[in-house]
Structure 1
């Protein structure tokens, strides 16, 4: 765990627990390459401007990621880049900010993630288009779903339309094409890359739980796990092996990664 390229101190990271204001992105790094690296950097720049009103130097961010990876000493890791200002607290949150770059790493799983069983729940994240660190509501909903025997939670808007999974996007398969929910949500990097790769067979529609019986399959997308099968949402289940699902996995694997 490093902040601005040096080992982070307790005083520097306590703002994440006590103030909890900032944003982040997580990426799978394999041999110092990342799929969608430019998109990750664009997200950090955009969200930094939105939350702090300042520009972010992405060359500096990449330098800090490389330094942390060198310290981690692994060829395949998940790196999380968190942008926040350790000097801000609850009383000074309106002050001019000097955001710091916190890089944390963890080993990436070597095995494919198992299919997800989702429980639908009514919830909408604050500022859905921003990958912010305010995860209490999402994690509370995930915990509730897991306590009920599910793996994760699928969010429904107040009008009943589907938006996203707690920390992933969801897509559906129908008639040989991909259907994304039409909603306000965080457009993930993996989702964006896949959308670009299969644009001619993609539609976006407002979807409710009543539409799921007409789908041939479902999948989740996330930078750490790629394309992951969804086995069910509540009582609606799908086969976890599907021709298009396998094609999506192959397409994602073939997307050229960018060097840090």
Structure 2
């Protein structure tokens, strides 16, 4: 079931979201025991992005309550998405919309980690990259182009030639010395990336596409996939088994979840 402020959502409620595509969201993986890794960080993201997108405050107590309601009766791991949008938003006057509401949807989660991913490099820069917004056309178009070319997803690089992030994930690398490297670029501050930075030694540095292809290993992170090895970037193949990759995966799974 999909709910808006705790009530079944109607087509009329969703029409403004479909037609204007203005809003922001977070997706959280809920483990079988009902806990969520990085729950506090997800709530912080929603509050921060709500102020940016709607210039409004967000009550995370209400958010948690609606998420608990959405998860009632669910069994097994799942992914809950919380989308914040204002059904009154109009294309001609978006500034008039300042009463965002809380849309909650739930889907089953896949196994962790998923199969390694082959990525194709695509020059693309997301609008307002620091916000997890619903404007996904460019990212999904790049993903589709990569899939038509025989890859699983797109890895973005900017006009400056620097690698940034993936379609809906943060990119990370392991250099030849075994150090985790996160690209220094305009990217979404991912929750999974933030959790790993708290627990694993790393460095943040600019990474050109050529430098990325010279790394010892590469991986993708987000709440749905955890730590997913990249098996290739364009024609460059990467090992999908590496001691540091295993450490990252084990570390992520060892991080205790938080209760709603």
Q: TM-score, normalised by structure 1?
A: 0.96
Other-structure match for 2:52: 50
> Helix, strand or coil for the counterpart of 1:259?
coil
CA distance in 2, matches of 1:92, 1:104: 27
Q: Which one is further off, 173-182 or 123-132?
A: 173-182
CA distance in 2, matches of 1:173, 1:248: 11
Equivalent pairs, count: 257
> Helix, strand or coil for the counterpart of 2:94?
coil
Other-structure match for 2:92: 91
Other-structure match for 1:178: 180
Q: TM-score, normalised by structure 2?
A: 0.96
Other-structure match for 1:117: 118
> Helix, strand or coil for the counterpart of 1:33?
coil
- Which segments of 5 or more consecutive residues in structure 2 lack a partner in the other structure? none
**RMSD (Å) for aligned C-alpha atoms:** 1.0
CA distance in 2, matches of 1:92, 1:212: 43
Residue 111 (structure 1) shift: 5.6
For 1:32-51, what aligned pairs fall within 5 Å after superposition?
32-51=34-53
Runs of 4+ with >3 A deviation: none
Residue 25 (structure 1) shift: 0.2
Q: Which residue among 57, 60, 63 is the counterpart of 1:61?
A: 63
Is residue 210 from structure 1 mapped to residue 224 from structure 2 by the alignment? Answer: no
Residue 248 (structure 1) shift: 0.5
8 A Cα contact 1:22 1:84, kept in partner: yes
CA distance in 2, matches of 1:105, 1:215: 36
